[in-house]
Amino acid sequence: MKILVVADSYGADSGKGTWIDQLRQLTGATIDCRGIGGCSNWIIYENFLKYYDLSYDYIFILLSNEKRISYVEGYPSYGHYGVTDVEKSMLPPEYKEAFLGHLKWFYHMPLQNFISKSIANELNHYPIEKHQTIIWVNCLLQPHIFDTITSGLKVKGNLYTYSMREAIDYIGDHKELTKAMETAQIKDPRTNHFSDENQYELAKFYANIIEKDKNNTLADADLDLENIQWVLDPKNMVSLHKFNLEESIMKK
């Protein structure tokens, strides 16, 4: 069995212990990972067109935030700066200046919505073969766009909800976590935004979908992220979160 993953940071790392690596071990599948942290849905779409072929049995498409800047020459991971305070970012000066100009003169939220909705529609109707199945996962996309998808297997819920719930449970304050990560440009140290325990739970969830789909026993509950046995306040979660949060608050 072969699997293709196209994604943003929620599927950008296939190293040891990630949900992609553990899904590989659980299913025995060959998995090609084409995720880029911070990238837009346009980049995810481009990577699908570039890497899709008839050899894949399952294609995971993890859709990202429609607010992201669609294209950044040479640096697709910079797309997420469309929704941050660029002035306080660690971007190189030439990019910072360009971003500020873009956000002031060219960035248009209705256009960004249209782009992501069009991409979802294109992928929804892409003529894949009968032996292939797309597994759709919403990472950051608004529900009104994600809900337009009607093909393949669509996972219910938003990954961001659960990765943030894990972080909030560990740190204890949603408002301070959000402020620290946005204003101080704190990098989330969790691979794919989940702890090791929850990477494994996510891999089991996807493996179950594939197994039951192959056996024609898949139920709606099998596609609901809420039914994962999420581990809250995991003991080995990287403590860098709390350290950075406290350091950020102290500086204010």
CA-wise closest residue to 98 among 61, 117, 71: 71
For residue range 209-226, list pLDDT tens digits in order: 999 999 999 999 999 999
For residue range 94-103, list pLDDT tens digits in order: 888 999 999 9
Please report how many Cα atoms fall inside a 13 Å half-sphere around the Cα of residue 98, on the Cβ side.
12
Is the CB of residue 225 less than 8 Å from the CB of residue 159? yes
For residue range 43-81, list pLDDT tens digits in order: 999 999 999 999 999 999 999 999 999 999 999 999 988
pLDDT higher than 50, residue 240? no
For residue range 143-189, list pLDDT tens digits in order: 999 999 999 999 999 999 998 888 776 655 556 656 655 554 456 77
Question: What was the pLDDT predicted at 81?
Answer: 86
Rounded mean pLDDT, 11-25:
94
Distances (CA, A) of 54 to 15, 26, 49, 133: 25, 23, 12, 11
Task: Check residues 95 and 21 and name the one with the higher pLDDT.
Answer: 21
Question: What was the pLDDT predicted at 188?
Answer: 72
Report domain 2-159+196-219's class: alpha beta
CA-wise closest residue to 19 among 156, 124, 139, 134: 139
Is the CB of residue 79 less than 8 Å from the CB of residue 107? no
Is the CB of residue 73 less than 8 Å from the CB of residue 115? no
Residues in the chain: 252
Rounded mean pLDDT, 20-49:
97
For residue range 92-138, list pLDDT tens digits in order: 888 889 999 999 999 999 999 999 999 999 999 999 999 999 999 99
Reduced to 3 states (helix: H, G, I; strand: E, B; else coil), residue 125 is coil
Q: pLDDT-derived band of residue 233, with 50, 70 and 90 as boundaries?
A: low
Give counts: helices (H), strands (E), the chain: 9, 5
| Annotated domain spans of the chain | 2-159+196-219
- Summary mean pLDDT of the chain: 87
Question: What was the pLDDT predicted at 171?
Answer: 58
